[in-house]
Structure 1
């Protein structure tokens, strides 16, 4: 990850010798500090990008697992809608357990609040159009089954938006941040 810092350090060592000979206020030490700061910025950007991409990777992994469990080569409309509903309502059992475990009159736990927000977001997206890999196409189902779990290969899949009424329309991937 410290690619810039390593390259800069290597150039300075090649020019000056061991790193202990660099003066604290010299141009070379400024180059090193600048390279270190750049690597830090790039690391933060990569972390935030991965955090944004992870929900879609998890979503594709869920549907890949459902394909492997069922062994279906192509989903019809009812099976497709049932698979999407199972994803949207995957946290219902855990939420019920947390509610039952909580004593009367006590505030909700942090985990319960997080699940509430996540469930509300999934429900709203499902009403407006839930982004999923197209499971109604046999080629896409086989491609999803062979998917290696990385963000890089998700754009090779066809994606659709499915509403709670069962309507589906083609969608672009990655989704636009409107």
Structure 2
């Protein structure tokens, strides 16, 4: 007989008798229940992590989309590598004004505020990612630029354009769909 993996199925198999009388800790049904509940917790955790990753990626793309839309040359069809690197540097430095304000407000000898610490940690991690390969939309090709320019900033539309990795030193690195899924 196959093992029921869903917590709801296991609880339904237990029925009303198992719920009211309880289950012995070494019983087969107890083991089924514990396995199913651990699986439910694991799946819930994975869904949360996937959602946070997508949220973070969506916020990054929205910010870059706003930078692309304010481009002074309306007839542009693509970016070159240096312009894309400059876009990434602007993205990494997006909190520089707030960071400078927080440093100025802090009295000498006092520890950093939690917000300042969070911003600095985020900037350090983004700089490290930029050294190894920063995940950005493919704005180097005309088709990728047009798809990203036409993007409506919705969650489901993120799959309509290709992603690449741009490194500070190594330059362009292509990203396959399998690599992108493994990151999530």
TM-score normalized by structure 1? 0.70
| RMSD of aligned Cα (Å) | 3.5
Aligned to 2:37: 36
Return 5+ residue gaps in structure 1 as ranges: none
Name the residue aligned to 2:23: 24
Taking a change above 3 Å as real, the CA distance of residues 31 and 74 of structure 1, as seen in their structure-2 partners, is same
Shift in alpha-carbon separation, 1:114–1:103, aligned structure 2, 3 A = same
Q: Give the CA deviation at 1:135.
A: 1.2
Q: Does 1:170 align with 2:174?
A: yes
In 1: Cα distance, 2:105 partner to 2:20 partner? 63
- CA 1:7–1:166: 2 relative to 1, 3 Å: same
| 1:76 lines up with 2:79 in the alignment | yes
- TM score, norm. by length of structure 2: 0.69
Mind listing any 5+ residue stretches in structure 2 that lack a counterpart?
none
- 3-state DSSP of counterpart to 2:164: strand
Distance 2:14 2:170 in 1: 62
Matches for 1:7-22 after TM superposition, within 5 Å: 7-13=9-15, 17=16, 20-22=19-21
Q: Deviations over 1:98-135 (max 9, x none)?
A: 11111122111222122112212222333444221111
Residue 89 of structure 1 deviates from its aligned partner by 0.8
Task: Give SS of 1:160's match.
Answer: strand
Q: How many residues align?
A: 170
